[in-house]
Structure 1
Amino acid sequence: MARNEEKAQSMLNRFITMKQEEKRKPKERRPYLASECRDLAEADRWRSEILREIGAKVAEIQNEGLGEHRLRDLNDEINKLLRERMHWEKRIVELGGPNYALKGAPKMTDLDGNIVDIPNPSGRGPGYRYFGAAKKLPGVRELFEKPPEVRKRRSRYEIYKRIDASYYGYRDDEDGVLEKLEGPAEEEMRAQATEEWKRVEQVRHEALKTVQSGEVATAGAPSIAAAQVLFEEEEDVVEEERRLEQEREERERGKEREFVAHVPLPDEKEIEKMVLEKKKRDLLSKYTSEGLLEEQEEAKEMLNIHR
């Protein structure tokens, strides 16, 4: 009994549905050309219908399992509906309606959702777009891949443009870090230099006090400070002798033939003695006055010292 009642109910439902369809007007077909429409309300209705069809096909094209051919067909149909929608929007403006194109056209996006600008990627006319799984088809994926950035080698002019005062270290003191590090070191070096200068001055004063004559400075018992000064002067004499010897050797190497001396020349020992005497005279003139030198000469004459 239950099954018969279900059958009767089903037949009744079909009968009611049929009667309702008879009362309806025949389904109108959308005009092939938008210019054929003369009513603004109808033009707006046809545009809304196109938008619904576009939404349904965009939802369908998201399925990657439809196959390459079906995806390409769906993408072509969507682009065809987009062009048709554009014609209806122009017709709506001509009939005095709102301009839907000014509200912002949909942008082309890549697989990551970033907006890209591809005016004519496939040669099928301007404004051709890809939707859903159609972006992953062979030959289409490459259109959305960004070409690798080629790093251009910088020229010498561009390198020099980036060089400023900081490159040469003129602004190292602006942060204050270097000043904190160099301050103690500078004070320590200054103290060491001052202490060394005081030591040298003290040595000079002691040398002036102890050096009274040539014999006293050489044969006497000079103080440690005077001995240190004389030792430094002796080192200078030795360095001078070494330099003279090197110059003499270089002159001898440069001679192409043997030089014959027609006058007696001093030998090496006499030259060393002359240089040493000159250094002593310079040292005495440096640390003694002219009056003291005259007194030393008179004392030598009285003692009959000839040196």
Structure 2
Amino acid sequence: MARNEEKAQSMLNRFIALKAEEKKKPKERRPYLASECRDLAEADKWRQQIMREIGRKVAEIQNEGLGEHRLRDLNDEINKLIREKGHWERRIVELGGPNYTKHSAKMTDLEGNIVDVPNPGGRGPGYRYFGAAKKLPGVKELFEKPPELRKRRSRHDIYKRIDASYYGYRDEEDGVLEKLEGPAEEKLRSEAVQEWNRLEEIRREARKSVKSGEVVTMSATAAARELLHEEEEDVVEEERKKEREMMEKLEEKERQFVVHVPLPDEKEIEKMILEKKKMELLNKYVSEGLLEEQSEAKSMLNIQN
């Protein structure tokens, strides 16, 4: 009995399910072309359906254990749905609806930075990678940033950064250097003026003593010696310079070489080289007997060459 009741119950369940299916409207199929849709609400509905499918596939592609082939197929399906979503978004704009492309998501790398992956076909947005597909061989390299090459600065680039402050022409604009150098400059100027006044006083005393014919004291002698110290240094320097020039002249004379034997000029050297080459050729192509006969003939004819 139990089995018959189970069978009846099973058949009843089937009957109820079939009746419920009959009452439902036939499932609408999404149009193949977005241009076939004439209603804005329907176009928005189909766009929402595509976005749900994209969300399911994006969640599925996060699993790295699916394998390389399945990941690539899922990534292709997601890109196909994204292109279809773009068609519907353009159709929504044509029907007077909102523009969803302004707020579309950007492509990011493994670190979350926005990147631009170009489309080889040159149409629409570039091919995108999602989830574990970004770590596939040959794809991971697309998201790796190449190392930045440090460009060597040229001389022109270096000189572009050089201005008046580099040479110290603006050091006094802030007023700090002027405050530090002012007292030191005044001190040096006062010392130089005092030294000049002292020397002028010594000169005047020396002239007075010479004109009056007075006896020169030890202090006057020391003052005159101090006064003439600079002139003596100049004289000594001139004498040293003359001695140095004399020594250089003597060294040049010693370097000169005196030839006691007459040297041949260029013509004689050329003639000797030509005779040497003639003898080498004769020794190479002529026998010794012929050479002896030739020398005897020259001696009989009194020919020198």
Aligning the two structures, in what range does the TM-score lie when normalised by the shorter sequence? 0.5 to 0.7
**Within the alignment, does 1:225 sit opposite 2:206 as a pair?**
no
Residues 168-187 of structure 1: CA distance to partner in whole angstroms, max 9, x if unpaired?
22222223332233223322
Q: How does 1:280-299 map to 2 (within 5 A)?
A: none
How far apart are the structure 1 equivalents of 2:214 and 2:52? 125
**Within the alignment, does 1:85 sit opposite 2:66 as a pair?**
no
The residue that corresponds to 2:55 in the other structure is 55
The residue that corresponds to 2:133 in the other structure is 134
Residues 158-217 of structure 1: CA distance to partner in whole angstroms, max 9, x if unpaired?
333333222322222223332233223322322322222222223223322333489955
Please report how far the alpha carbon of residue 49 of structure 1 lies from its aligned counterpart in structure 2 after TM superposition: 0.7
The residue that corresponds to 1:198 in the other structure is 197
The residue that corresponds to 2:241 in the other structure is 243
The residue that corresponds to 2:65 in the other structure is 65
The count of residues paired between Structure 1 and Structure 2 equals 247
Q: Secondary structure at the match of 1:201?
A: helix
Q: How does 1:16-55 map to 2 (within 5 A)?
A: 20-55=20-55
The residue that corresponds to 1:145 in the other structure is 144
Residues 66-90 of structure 1: CA distance to partner in whole angstroms, max 9, x if unpaired?
3322222221111111111122233
Q: Kindly tell me: are residues 227 and 54 of structure 1, through their superposed partners in 2, closer, same or farther at Cα, counting changes over 3 Å?
A: same
How far apart are the structure 1 equivalents of 2:205 and 2:79? 108
The residue that corresponds to 1:288 in the other structure is none
Please report the TM-score for the alignment, with normalisation by the length of structure 2.
0.65
How far apart are the structure 2 equivalents of 1:120 and 1:249? 86
The residue that corresponds to 1:183 in the other structure is 182
Stretches of structure 2 that go unaligned for 5 or more consecutive residues are 1-10, 255-305
Q: How does 1:96-107 map to 2 (within 5 A)?
A: 96-107=95-106
**8 Å contact kept, 2:61–2:75:** yes
Q: Secondary structure at the match of 1:46?
A: helix
How far apart are the structure 1 equivalents of 2:12 and 2:191? 119
How far apart are the structure 1 equivalents of 2:185 and 2:138? 71
How far apart are the structure 1 equivalents of 2:25 and 2:16? 16
Stretches of structure 1 that go unaligned for 5 or more consecutive residues are 1-10, 257-307
Please report how far the alpha carbon of residue 50 of structure 1 lies from its aligned counterpart in structure 2 after TM superposition: 0.7
Q: Kindly tell me: are residues 64 and 123 of structure 1, through their superposed partners in 2, closer, same or farther at Cα, counting changes over 3 Å?
A: farther
How far apart are the structure 1 equivalents of 2:250 and 2:137? 89
RMSD: 3.8
**8 Å contact kept, 1:207–1:229:** no
The residue that corresponds to 1:275 in the other structure is none
How far apart are the structure 1 equivalents of 2:233 and 2:83? 103
**8 Å contact kept, 2:89–2:101:** no
Please report how far the alpha carbon of residue 64 of structure 1 lies from its aligned counterpart in structure 2 after TM superposition: 3.0
Taking only the aligned residue pairs, the percentage that are identical comes to: 74
Greater shift in the superposed pair: 100-109 or 230-239? 230-239
How far apart are the structure 1 equivalents of 2:229 and 2:122? 98
Please report the TM-score for the alignment, with normalisation by the length of structure 1.
0.65
